């Protein structure tokens, strides 16, 4: 396809019988019921919350953390927040966002899951259910179906080849990632569309793919036409651009692609992407090292998201969360093992930020869960529910039963969104 817009035109004018109705992707809307945007960034592998948001003022912190403890002052010192808390020195964009009151930091949070399997924990975090494998759909998708104004469900987009569990379910969700091979011509595509006429799954998927491809291509074409050169970036993004390699650069690219979808008036309102590599069992590092590098990539990706969203950032909330935390003490290989209480971030122009939201249990041995993990004092679902209710206007009744089954006791957190 030579012209990015022609594939879209083709969708609307397909000559093949049946194709035009089958191609009716529900991804794009003339008028969406809400201006609010929501992005979920899932960190798979269990982010070490005690390094990302080190409680440097906790009397037990330095002892437990040994060689990987972050310093309060001096070279490579953590970036101060309120109380005993600080941010990892890699998280410079987040630190600025905190100062700008666009970042709320959550600590000692956890999903209802209390075992230590990554895969079951991710399943619970994504499904919104109480038990692993309790549901084959995800909380974000069910939230989309519960939006008040839509006659048809509002759409979302997952950045990646496939749709992660959190976004699976009855509402239409496309996946998008760059498809390099673009030689496919319209005539062949039309015949394949026809061939899928009796296959509901494949026909729906193909229609969504073509639609999101068109949107992404338009966004890219528009960005290039607008200014010919890269927009003004903050220093983190610039630094990452110089490092144009590996995961870190790819995550920033993904964030920009997400923004391309979200900033359209008629585009999806909800997006999700995930990142991996957080399972730091050995040689985790402190101010420098393995985790520091990953955090820098995450920080740069979030900066890129803000940068690309432009004015839409004002209406945006980004939730960054992980399946569980890691052990309070380092292990024998200068890393940390699977734990429980974790850190999370709420970021965006719509967030009532500049705060650390934590009922801090402390790190003394008596206060640790099973004498090893940070004790969770807040159910992560209360945060998700607060955002969905106050930002996307999902009715509370639906949140308690449909979006997060049997969760009435986990009350939505108040005051997360700027009034």
Partner 1 sequence: MTATQKDTAAAIAANRFGLGARPGELAVIGADSTKWLLRQLKGAPPVLKGEGLKPSAETLAKVIELRKEVQAERREKKKDAGDEQDKVVTALKLPAVYRPVYIDEVYARFSHSVSTDRPFLERLTQFWTNHFAVSVDKIAVLGIAGAMEREAIRPHVTGHFQDLLLAVEKHPAMLLYLDNPASIGPNSKAARFVGKRGNGRKVGINENLAREILELHTLGVDGGYSQADVTTFAQAISGWSIGGQDNGRRLAKLGVDNGTPGEFLFREVFHEPGAKKVLGKSYGDNGVRQGETILRDLAMRRETARHISTKLARHFIADDPPKAAVDRITRAWLDSKAHLPTVYEALVESPEAWEQPLAKFKTPADYIYSSYRALGIPLREKRRALQPFESLGQRNLMPGSPAGWPDASADWDGSSALLKRIAWADVVAQRMGDSRNARDLAPQLLGATLTDDTAKAIARAESGSQALTLLMASPEFMRR
* Binding region for partner 1 (CB under 8 A): 44-45, 66-67, 115-120, 132, 136, 158, 160-163, 165, 168, 174-177, 179-184, 187-189, 191-192, 194-199, 201-202, 204-210, 212-213, 276-277, 279, 281-283, 330-333, 335, 337-338, 370
Q: Residue 235 and residue 1: Cα distance in Å, rounded?
A: 36
| Shortest CB 337 distance to partner 1, Å | 5
Tokens 């955002």 locate to 387
**Minimal distance in Å, beta carbon 251 to partner 1?**
14
User: Measured at the alpha carbon of residue 309, what is the angle toward residues 307 and 314, in degrees to the nearest 5?
Assistant: 100
HSE of 157 in the Cβ direction (CA atoms, 13 Å)? 29
Cβ neighbour number for residue 260 with a 10 Å cutoff: 25
Q: In angstroms, what is the minimal distance from the CB of 210 to partner 1?
A: 7
3-state secondary structure 51-64: HHCCCCCCCCHHHH
Q: How far is the CB of 26 from partner 1 (least distance, A)?
A: 12
Nearer Cβ to partner 1 (58/274): 274
Smallest gap, in angstroms, from Cβ of residue 246 to partner 1? 10
Quick one: residue 266, left, alpha or beta (phi over 0 = left, psi -120 to 50 = alpha)?
alpha
Residue 254 or 382: which CB sits closer to partner 1?
254
Q: Where are the alpha helices (DSSP H) in 6-109?
A: 6-13, 19-22, 49-52, 61-65, 92-99
Residue 23 makes CB contacts below 8 A (sequence gap 6+) with 11, 14, 193, 207, 210
CB of 202 to partner 1, least distance (A): 6
- Between 157 and 356, name the residue whose CB sits nearer to partner 1: 157
Burial (Cβ within 10 Å: 0-12, 13-18, ≥19) of residue 253: middle
Q: Which one, 89 or 286, has the nearer CB to partner 1? A: 286
Q: E-assigned strands of 140-287?
A: 156-159, 173-176, 270-275
Minimum separation from the CB atom of position 280 to partner 1 (A): 10
What backbone torsions phi and psi does residue 168 show, to the nearest 5 degrees? -85, 150
Q: Is the dihedral of CA 50, 51, 53, 58 positive or negative?
A: positive
* Planar angle of CA 405, 409, 412, nearest 5 degrees: 85
CB of 22 to partner 1, least distance (A): 13
| Closer CB to partner 1, 93 or 196, in the complex | 196
Find the shortest distance in angstroms from Cβ 277 to partner 1. Answer: 7
- Closer Cβ to partner 1, 31 or 162, answer by number: 162
Written as six digits, the tokens of 319 are: 């939730």
Residue 290 or 367: the one with the smaller Cβ distance to partner 1 is: 290
Q: What angle do CA 362, 79, 319 make, to 5 degrees?
A: 75
Say if residue 100 is exposed, middle or buried (CB neighbours under 10 Å; 0-12, 13-18, 19+).
Answer: exposed
Question: Running DSSP on this structure, what letter comes out for residue 273?
Answer: E
* Minimum CB distance to partner 1 smaller for 183 or for 409: 183
Residue 6 or 188: the one with the smaller Cβ distance to partner 1 is 188
């Amino acid at each position: 396809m030579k012209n990015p817009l022609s594939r879209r035109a083709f969708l609307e004018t397909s000559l093949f019988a049946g194709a035009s109705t089958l191609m009716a992707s529900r991804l794009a809307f003339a008028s969406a019921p809400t201006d609010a945007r929501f992005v979920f960034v899932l960190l798979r592998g269990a982010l070490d919350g005690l390094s990302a948001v080190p409680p440097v003022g906790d009397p037990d912190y330095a002892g437990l953390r040994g060689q990987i403890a972050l310093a309060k002052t001096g070279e490579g010192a953590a970036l101060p927040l309120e109380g005993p808390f600080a941010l990892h020195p890699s998280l410079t964009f987040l630190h600025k966002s905190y100062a700008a009151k666009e970042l709320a930091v959550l600590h000692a949070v956890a999903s209802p899951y209390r075992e230590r399997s990554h895969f079951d924990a991710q399943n619970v975090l994504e499904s919104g259910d109480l038990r692993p494998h309790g549901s084959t759909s995800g909380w974000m998708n069910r939230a989309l179906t519960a939006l008040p104004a839509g006659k048809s469900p509002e759409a979302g987009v997952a950045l990646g080849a496939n749709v992660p569990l959190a976004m699976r379910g009855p509402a239409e969700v496309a996946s998008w990632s760059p498809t390099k091979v673009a030689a496919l011509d319209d005539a062949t595509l039309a015949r394949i569309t026809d061939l899928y006429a009796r296959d509901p799954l494949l026909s729906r998927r193909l229609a969504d793919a073509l639609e999101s491809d068109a949107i992404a291509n338009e966004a890219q074409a528009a960005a290039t036409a607008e200014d010919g050169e890269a927009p003004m970036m903050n220093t983190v993004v610039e630094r990452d651009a110089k490092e144009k390699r590996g995961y870190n650069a790819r995550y920033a690219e993904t964030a920009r692609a997400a923004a391309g979808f979200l900033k359209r008036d008629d585009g999806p309102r909800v997006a999700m992407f995930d990142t991996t590599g957080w399972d730091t069992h050995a040689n985790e590092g402190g101010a420098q090292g393995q985790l520091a590098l990953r955090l820098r990539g995450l920080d740069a990706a979030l900066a890129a998201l803000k940068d690309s969203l432009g004015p839409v950032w004002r209406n945006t909330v980004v939730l960054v969360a992980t399946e569980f935390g890691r052990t309070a003490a380092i292990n024998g290989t200068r890393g940390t093992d699977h734990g429980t209480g974790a850190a999370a971030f709420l970021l965006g122009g719509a967030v009532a930020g500049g705060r650390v939201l934590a009922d801090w249990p402390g790190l003394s041995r008596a206060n640790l869960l099973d004498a090893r993990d940070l004790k969770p004092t807040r159910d992560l679902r209360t945060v998700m529910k607060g955002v969905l209710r106050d930002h996307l206007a999902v009715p509370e009744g639906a949140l308690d039963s449909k979006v997060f089954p049997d969760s009435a006791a986990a009350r939505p957190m108040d005051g997360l969104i700027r009034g």
